[in-house]
Structure 1
């Protein structure tokens, strides 16, 4: 699964990378420890273009009785059929900007060791995401989940799953409301291992209350 990530890239740079020409998102500084239930930045399709939007991480389908929590990840292998995700997969897909993500590895009998995964060079990237609406009017809640897939060779050393990282040339297709299911499923593959890096970081990141450079410090 993917349960924490970083977004340290300024909004002006994100707008360039993701081709967003509208208003820039609110910016309160770098995020070193984005966690479930928090408000996360997303890029969604809008009138033939793209716009930034904030969504709560934890997907709540429209029919959910309790929107206070929901799955943070969706498995690529079942996303097109599972009731919680299939409607969003059909028509509400999003790019979730990030520039790193964390996974934890069991080392002996001690506490799990966190690792930070990035693209080589540290460039921002996009998780394949889904989003949903719950409620109406002033009570409307918009939520999101990240898709996961089999790990590549780098991720496999730490965890048996990894988030779907989309190549830039796939952004248009992922946001295309008319894309065919088979085309979309073909995108949900492990990112090339040769283009990724990973290193162990401080257990400071274990607490979602911590959001500072110590989270990404190599150990």
Structure 2
């Protein structure tokens, strides 16, 4: 799964990476982003422009009872079968910016910080819903798609799931393309990210407490 991640680059660099020239929304550097918090999501507007805004991490689809689960992750293998997920993937996709994410090794609960070697900013493939509740409040929520590690043997030794990381700007453009509305066209780019373009290292167990949000969370430690 993907239950914690970080955005350590400046907001200026994030906007530059996604080609967003103007935005009234800003997000500070965060070193320990946890579920249920507001996170930035990049979507495509009705005129084809890229827009960025806050989404609560934990999907609350309009089609579900608000008292139901709010999944922070959606398994890629189940997207076709889940009617609500499929509809949102085909109509409401988002990029979730990140600079790295955390996983805990099962046998000793050691946290690892995992990032992409070739670029400091990358995108999780996600999807969202937005609607207005009975109190007139706008509900913006999202989830991050996960995949099996596949041939990533060393990563598999840490965890049996990983977030769906898009491979670059071409896949990011395709994911946000509103003209693509068939899930069968979209799923081929949702695959395990190549292990040879990833780096991971152990970090302090302070990241286990959501109160801790400092550069120490993403610093390598000696074991």
Task: Tell me if both proteins adopt one fold, taking TM over 0.5 as the criterion.
Answer: yes
1:119 to 116, 120, 143: 116
- What does residue 104 of structure 1 align with? 104
Alignment of 1:14-163 (within 5 A): 14-23=14-23, 25-27=25-27, 29-46=28-45, 47-66=47-66, 70-107=70-107, 111-120=108-117, 123-136=120-133, 138-151=136-149, 152-163=152-163
| Equivalent residues, number | 215
Bigger mean CA deviation after superposition, 181-190 or 31-40: 181-190
Moved over 3 A (4+): none
- What does residue 174 of structure 2 align with? 173
Residue 185 of structure 1 and its aligned partner are, at CA, apart by: 0.5
Contact 2:86 2:183 in 1 (8 A): no
Residue 94 of structure 1 and its aligned partner are, at CA, apart by: 0.2
Residue 156 of structure 1 and its aligned partner are, at CA, apart by: 1.1
- SS of 1:22's equivalent in the other structure is coil
Contact 1:11 1:24 in 2 (8 A): no
- SS of 1:182's equivalent in the other structure is helix
- SS of 1:166's equivalent in the other structure is coil
Contact 2:5 2:33 in 1 (8 A): yes
Give TM-score scaled by structure 2 length. Answer: 0.90
Give TM-score scaled by structure 1 length. Answer: 0.92
2: distance between equivalents of 1:89 and 1:132? Answer: 10
Bigger mean CA deviation after superposition, 113-122 or 128-137: 128-137
2: distance between equivalents of 1:22 and 1:50? Answer: 10
Counterparts in 2 of 1:141 and 1:61: CA distance versus 1, 3 Å: same
2: distance between equivalents of 1:143 and 1:187? Answer: 23
Mark the runs of 5 or more structure 1 residues left unpaired by the alignment.
none
The two structures, once aligned, show a CA RMSD in angstroms of 1.7
